[in-house]
Chains A and B, each alone.
Chain A
């Protein structure tokens, strides 16, 4: 049962391996706080829609199951939208249009179709949670790199004078990283690092097997 949860974290990480949900990943990772807010919202929708789809899936006529999934997902997204407007207006403003756009996040529809539709509620819940946290991990990596090097802060707290713009700072923050082009470049580098790590692991296991 736990493997459903674990696979989403790293091996089948939705962003870094499956390349799904890229738009919010790049858009909201200017700061760690925004990244965490987005991850929490997406995780809530993912778990909710996964459980509901696996409970109600058998009642959906096969041909129109995708629209049914979309309605379920959209209801959860609307819930998140209204909750966020009510309790965290600052976060709502920072994430802006990307909260309603969770509807078209391919991770969520993808999990509903590929997993929740054919599995039991508990497995679907764990799968949704794993995928949601995996999404959060990717957002956190990007958000941390961009905020730390782009603004010299972490969670809005200035980190050491070394990276802040303060007098006597060792290094000026690289302002480019918090701008839109910086997001593309950081994601490109992170994906390259992941690909390199995977190749190295594969090489090592091949050597271990053949004793080369």
Chain B
């Protein structure tokens, strides 16, 4: 139940894009077409789960035992950058079709603040949980939930923007300004989930 609540909370109630403002650059930049939004969403889910697990291990076994907590930011960003590169190389070798689908989105993810954001949030939320297995599982669930919420917001946004292109809008609002206003209205709709989890 706790795991389900965590997933629900991070994907819908505290949606990464619409209520925590993480990962806005790809949200606005890659949401013009449905296909791109789909690819980017999958790539983000994949990297977020991997990054959550790896940074958890780094925190638990390398930083915490030696009292190096202040190195968190530096280590995490380097670990994530290395991870993304490794994943890119691995996918290229192992699964060319997957690489063709996700490849162009992977380099963009290194500087996606949502990935570092989820890693830091995991540590803030579950880093001090005594039970190692529980802390690990919660971290994995939070990573997955954050990615799923990101993908959901991306897909909605892509659908909305494909229709916005056809509307006779005032010139000043065309493109990014109206996309932001739509994102705001979408965030308002997501407020409906707020009562579910305390």
Whether B78 contacts A67 by the Cβ 8 Å rule is yes
Q: Which residues of A are found within 8 Å of B111, using beta-carbon distances?
A: 104, 106, 109
CB contacts under 8 Å to A, within B49-74, are: 70-74
A101 CA to B172 CA in the complex, in Å? 31
| A1 lies within 8 A of chain B by Cβ | no
Contact of A184 among B78, B121, B172, B181 (CB under 8 A): B181
Contact of A70 among B78, B178, B187 (CB under 8 A): B78
Q: Which residues of A are found within 8 Å of B74, using beta-carbon distances?
A: 71, 74-75, 78
Whether B25 contacts A189 by the Cβ 8 Å rule is no
| A201 lies within 8 A of chain B by Cβ | no
| B176 lies within 8 A of chain A by Cβ | yes
| A192 lies within 8 A of chain B by Cβ | yes
Whether A22 contacts B185 by the Cβ 8 Å rule is no
Contact of A191 among B20, B112, B176, B183 (CB under 8 A): B176
**Closest residue on chain B to residue A78 by CB atoms:** B73
Q: Which residues of A are found within 8 Å of B70, using beta-carbon distances?
A: 78, 81-82
Q: Which residues of B are found within 8 Å of A26, using beta-carbon distances?
A: 21, 24
CB contacts under 8 Å to A, within B68-86, are: 70-74, 77-78, 81
Whether B184 contacts A182 by the Cβ 8 Å rule is yes
Contact of B116 among A27, A78, A100, A184 (CB under 8 A): A100
| B117 lies within 8 A of chain A by Cβ | yes
Taking A70-B81, A100-B116, A101-B113 as contacts, is the C-beta distance between A77 and B73 under 8 angstroms? yes
| A193 lies within 8 A of chain B by Cβ | yes
| B93 lies within 8 A of chain A by Cβ | no
| B6 lies within 8 A of chain A by Cβ | no
Q: Which residues of A are found within 8 Å of B170, using beta-carbon distances?
A: 192
CB contacts under 8 Å to A, within B83-135, are: 111-113, 116-117, 120-121, 124
Whether B188 contacts A192 by the Cβ 8 Å rule is no
Q: How far is the CB of A92 from chain B (nearest CB, A)?
A: 13
Taking A22-B28, A100-B72, A104-B112 as contacts, is the C-beta distance between A184 and B81 under 8 angstroms? no
CB contacts under 8 Å to A, within B9-46, are: 18-25, 28
| B180 lies within 8 A of chain A by Cβ | yes
**Closest residue on chain A to residue B173 by CB atoms:** A192
| A56 lies within 8 A of chain B by Cβ | no
**Closest residue on chain B to residue A100 by CB atoms:** B73
A174 CA to B181 CA in the complex, in Å? 16
Known contacts A101-B120, A193-B172; 8 additional CB pairs below 8 A are A26-B24, A74-B74, A78-B73, A181-B18, A181-B188, A185-B180, A191-B176, A196-B172
**Which residues on B are within 8 Å of A, measured CB to CB?**
18-25, 28, 70-74, 77-78, 81, 111-113, 116-117, 120-121, 124, 170-173, 176-181, 183-188, 191
Can you name 8 A-B pairs with beta carbons within 8 Å? A26-B24, A74-B74, A78-B70, A104-B116, A109-B111, A188-B178, A192-B178, A195-B171
